[in-house]
């Protein structure tokens, strides 16, 4: 199994049965050329054959407070830190020591169906690793921000802290288009000694009024993450550029020459003051290109992160109990979206008679873009979200319906999920 995501392979659009303006030109963007391969930074070790409550306080001045009550204090009113004449810390070692307890390793065990040597289909277990940043705590959970591609397809997720203590985690919320996810660890499962170390860590601010804006090109940065699955590592460099765009990520990114490697996905990109400015996400992977890594800027996605934090922690139901929408669909990729002037998501190529989608009024030609507030960028993301809902449950599906003028109108439709056939 490969751990590479080639964001630049163009995919043909679906065979649409309604009129569209196919002569529309693509928007010109400052993207990397399509022949350049970009890899996600989640490291896949290899394949072994086998088988509601709201998030409360965002971040405290002291990350986890004391171990006696295990509570986080309210967010302070610190303003956004912008470039000033203040003397920045230059000691990378001291910055790393302060922040590293807030950066965790994430292990994703997933099961995939692959074709065997003899032509049959068999299940294989895959283990991949990435990184995450502890951003908050509510009454019973520690909340961690990471990349969506780090946690997608998981059967089980395990978080390892700076002291190598490991605890199982659950997905709280995901945004596939932004490549973001928030996962949760129950604090009662974390040892007091681990909580002590976390309590001494430098706080990570994600509330919009507290996030740090990147100063610009040339700003010194430090990257921390679980590179190559060896545990936490630290590299440094500068901001090479801002506002970069990559296919597959609906966000303008920070470009840096700090060494970023597989396993760093979801890790922290810090400024010289030890403040988190980005979430490490991808790198260019060619023999002729060096020092081109990318991070999602915290300041531009703080609202999304807060929304993900406030979602109900998800627990998968058994496959036999899982519900289905009753549609067949095709991915609408970024390329297809631009070519056909339609939103990214799942193009509904067929609506199954008697299914929940049919009863709710979803029609062929519509595009599903979300489920219960979670954005959907393709069939894989939709299938993963449906793993959390039983047949008979009602979910809110966000649907974009084509209009006569070629535009799409979005609306929310309640669908009662049917049983798997």
The CATH number that applies at residue 338 is 2.30.42.10
Domain boundary pick from 274, 309, 344 = 309
Residue 69 lies inside a defined structural domain of this protein: yes
Say whether both 216 and 359 belong to one domain.
no
- The active-site residue out of 131, 265, 302, 375 is 265
- So what's the pLDDT on residue 241? 87
From the list 83, 64, 55, 82, the residue with the least C-alpha distance to 202 is 64
- So what's the pLDDT on residue 68? 36
Range of the domain at 339: 323-419
Q: Are 390 and 317 within 8 A, CB to CB?
A: yes
From the list 268, 246, 341, the residue with the least C-alpha distance to 19 is 341
Say whether both 305 and 333 belong to one domain.
no
- So what's the pLDDT on residue 251? 85
Task: For the full predicted model, state whether its pTM sits above 0.95.
Answer: no
- The active-site residue out of 126, 128, 179, 220 is 179
Q: Are 370 and 398 within 8 A, CB to CB?
A: yes
Residue 314 lies inside a defined structural domain of this protein: no
Domain boundary pick from 265, 285, 309 = 309
- So what's the pLDDT on residue 159? 93
Alpha-carbon distance of 410 to 366, in angstroms, equals: 10
Helix, strand, coil tally for the chain in percent (to 5): 15, 40, 45
Residue 207 sits at the vertex; the CA angle it makes with 151 and 282, to the nearest 5 degrees, is: 35
- So what's the pLDDT on residue 32? 53
- The active-site residue out of 40, 102, 131, 149 is 149
| Active-site annotation holds for 257 | no
- So what's the pLDDT on residue 93? 85
| Active-site annotation holds for 149 | yes
Say whether both 55 and 175 belong to one domain.
yes
**Structural domain count, the chain:** 2
- So what's the pLDDT on residue 38? 62
From first CA to last CA, the distance across the chain in angstroms is 30
| Active-site annotation holds for 128 | no
Say whether both 283 and 353 belong to one domain.
no
Say whether both 305 and 327 belong to one domain.
no
- So what's the pLDDT on residue 44? 58
Low-confidence spans in the chain with pLDDT less than 70: 1-90, 112-123, 202-215, 285, 287, 289
Residue 203 lies inside a defined structural domain of this protein: yes
């Amino acid at each position: 199994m490969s751990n590479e995501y080639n964001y630049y392979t163009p995919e043909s659009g679906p065979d649409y049965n309604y009129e569209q303006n196919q002569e529309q030109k693509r928007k010109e963007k400052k993207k990397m050329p399509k022949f350049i391969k970009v890899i996600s930074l989640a490291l896949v070790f290899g394949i072994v054959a086998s088988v509601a409550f709201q998030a409360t306080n965002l971040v405290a001045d002291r990350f986890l407070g004391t171990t006696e009550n295990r509570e986080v204090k309210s967010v302070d009113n610190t303003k956004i830190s912008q470039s000033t004449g203040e003397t920045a810390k230059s000691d990378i070692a001291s910055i790393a020591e302060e922040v590293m307890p807030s950066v965790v390793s994430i292990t994703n065990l997933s099961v995939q169906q692959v074709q065997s040597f003899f032509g049959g289909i068999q299940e294989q277990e895959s283990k991949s690793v990435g990184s995450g940043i502890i951003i908050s705590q509510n009454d019973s959970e520690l909340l961690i921000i990471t990349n969506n591609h780090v946690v997608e397809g998981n059967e089980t997720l395990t978080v390892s802290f700076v002291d190598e203590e490991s605890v199982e985690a659950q997905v709280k919320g995901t945004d596939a288009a932004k490549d973001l996810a928030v996962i949760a660890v129950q604090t009662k499962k974390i040892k007091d000694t681990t909580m002590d170390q976390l309590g001494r860590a430098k706080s990570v601010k994600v509330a919009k009024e507290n996030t740090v804006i990147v100063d610009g090109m040339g700003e010194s940065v430090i990257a921390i993450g679980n590179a190559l699955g060896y545990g936490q590592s630290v590299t440094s460099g500068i901001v090479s550029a801002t506002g970069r765009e990559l296919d597959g990520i609906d966000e303008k990114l920070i470009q840096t020459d700090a060494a970023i490697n597989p396993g760093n996905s979801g890790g922290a990109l810090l400024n010289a003051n030890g403040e988190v400015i980005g979430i490490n996400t991808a790198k260019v992977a060619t023999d002729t290109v060096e020092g081109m890594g990318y991070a999602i800027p915290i300041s531009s996605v703080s609202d999304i992160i807060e929304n993900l934090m406030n979602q109900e922690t998800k627990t998968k139901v058994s496959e036999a109990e899982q519900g289905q929408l009753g549609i067949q669909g095709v991915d609408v990729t970024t390329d297809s979206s631009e070519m056909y002037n339609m939103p990214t998501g799942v193009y509904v190529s067929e609506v199954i008679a008697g299914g929940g989608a049919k009863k709710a009024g979803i029609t062929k030609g519509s595009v599903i873009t979300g489920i219960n507030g979670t954005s959907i960028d393709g069939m894989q993301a939709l299938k993963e979200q449906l793993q959390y809902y039983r047949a008979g449950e009602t979910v809110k599906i966000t649907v974009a319906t084509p209009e006569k003028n070629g535009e799409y109108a979005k609306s929310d439709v309640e669908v009662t999920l049917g049983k798997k056939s």
